[in-house]
């Protein structure tokens, strides 16, 4: 991904949280990244997808703002197709269903 962006990234600056859920901000890789950004100038943070940074949108916004205050830009990889596609959440699937035929949710009365 860094090559596609025209950036050189040394191996020690690759942070991964394998086995840790993005549902928490307490992850070894994320904490190391946050410490690095706080200690020295980091031009860009590359991330595969927003949900890899954090599952909750509010936490994504918090992290992006934290990095921006340090002068660091956050970039996400463009989707590359099925291999990187994030499946929709159950809530997104429910929201995408067509609405029922009645506004009240009750079956229409036949006369």
**Can you give the pTM of this predicted structure?**
0.64
List the chain domain ranges. Answer: 11-96
Residues in contact with 38: Cβ distance below 8 Å, sequence separation at least 6, in sequence order: 70
pLDDT score recorded for residue 47 = 87
CA distance 27 to 63: 13
In this structure, what are the phi and psi dihedrals at residue 36, rounded to the nearest 5 degrees?
Answer: -60, -50
CATH topology of domain 11-96: Rossmann fold (3.40.50)
Q: For 1-44, write each residue's pLDDT tens digit.
A: 556 666 667 778 788 888 888 788 899 999 999 999 999 999 99
| Nearest alpha-carbon partner for 2 in 29, 34, 42 | 42
What is the DSSP code string of 38-59? HHS---EEEES-HHHH-SSHHH
Per the document, the length of the chain is 111
Instruction: For 66-84, write each residue's pLDDT tens digit.
Output: 999 999 999 988 765 544 4
Would you place residue 51 in the very low, low, confident or very high pLDDT band (cuts 50, 70, 90)? confident
Q: Does 101 score more than 50 pLDDT?
A: no
How many CB atoms neighbour CB 49 within 10 A? Answer: 13
Tokens linked to 39 = 């200690």
What tokens were used for 93? 């699937």
Structure tokens at 107: 């079956």
Per-residue pLDDT for 64 more than 90? yes
């Amino acid at each position: 991904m860094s090559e596609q962006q025209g950036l050189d990234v040394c191996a020690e600056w690759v942070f991964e949280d394998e086995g840790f859920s993005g549902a928490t901000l307490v992850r070894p890789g994320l904490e190391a990244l946050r410490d690095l950004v706080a200690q020295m100038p980091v031009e860009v943070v590359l991330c595969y997808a927003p949900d890899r940074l954090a599952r909750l949108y509010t936490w994504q916004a918090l992290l992006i703002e934290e990095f921006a205050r340090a002068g660091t830009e956050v970039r996400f990889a463009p989707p590359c197709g099925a291999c990187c596609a994030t499946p929709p959440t159950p809530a997104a699937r429910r929201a995408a269903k067509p609405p029922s035929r009645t506004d009240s949710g009750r079956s229409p009365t036949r006369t």
